[in-house]
Amino acid sequence: MANQMVDFVLVPYWVEQSLSKAKIPLQTILDYNKLRDIISLQDVVSLYNFQDLQLKITERLNLGSLFSSWSSTAQGAYKQELDSVLIPLSSNKEQYIDGFMQRLTLDTDQEAVEGSPYKIVNLGNSHIGVIIYPGFIEYSLSPDNANEIMRELIRQLYVYNAHTEVSSTGLFEAWVKNLKAVK
């Protein structure tokens, strides 16, 4: 099995819902031109900043490839927009992160999403998407739930890499450390 770098993309539930309503495949988030034809620049900035969401469970994921993917797919006016507009608009990440935390934290009167507050999907092209729903923050704080999330992420790594390669990743190391802490 060839060793491929696998990149994770954090996807806020509202972006997934927008694409789903438009009957657009989630993989579209990797193609800047197609994505911009569907969602606003503000939503794109939000998705870009979402990659910097600092959660204990995401700290060992290889994030940050979304911009590279966009750079390789952007053309024409969208290429210029990506280079000269997106980055300046993304400079106030803290404001976005605070908003994300509010949207992902359950209010006392808000019901958790039925089932798991996350979904892991293979986006193709060595990208794995992690869709995050309300309640994820509280859910991921439990060591047992954190183990479950990491185990599912590791399973996705096996699609692209041999066992020995997966076991040398920071994610695998964090999972083993977390398993020991739970026992």
Query: Domain locations in the chain?
Result: 7-105+115-182
What string of DSSP letters covers 42-89?
HHHHHHHHHTT---GGGTTS----HHHHHHHH--HHHHHHIIIIIHHH
CB 48 within 8 A of CB 29: no
Check residues 11 and 111 and name the one with the higher pLDDT: 11
Q: What is the pLDDT of residue 183?
A: 65
User: Do residues 44 and 86 touch, judged by C-beta distance below 8 A?
Assistant: yes
- Kindly report the backbone phi and psi dihedral angles of residue 11, in degrees, each rounded to the nearest multiple of 5, phi listed first: -120, 115
43 or 111, greater pLDDT? 43
Residue 36 has pLDDT above 90, yes or no: yes
Contact partners, residue 54, CB within 8 Å, separation at least 6: 97
Single pTM value for the model: 0.86
- Residue bearing the bigger pLDDT, 178 or 70: 70
Please tell me the distance from the alpha carbon of residue 82 to that of residue 159, in angstroms, as a whole number: 31
Residue 158 has pLDDT above 50, yes or no: yes
> Average pLDDT of 159-171?
87
> Order of strands across the sheet with 127-132?
7-12, 127-132, 118-124
Helices (H) and strands (E) in the chain, counts: 11, 3
Q: What is the pLDDT of residue 3?
A: 52
172 phi, psi to nearest 5 deg: -65, -45
Bigger pLDDT: 59 vs 70:
70
Confidence of residue 1 (pLDDT cuts 50, 70, 90): very low
Residue 107: the pLDDT is 66
pLDDT digits (tens, 9 = 90+) for 77-117: 999 999 899 888 888 777 788 888 888 887 645 555 567 89
Which pLDDT score is estimated for 88? 87
Query: Which residue's entry shows tokens 């438009």?
Result: 22
Top pLDDT among 102 and 152 is at 152
What pLDDT sits at residue 173?
A: 87
- The pLDDT score that the predictor gives to residue 120 is 95
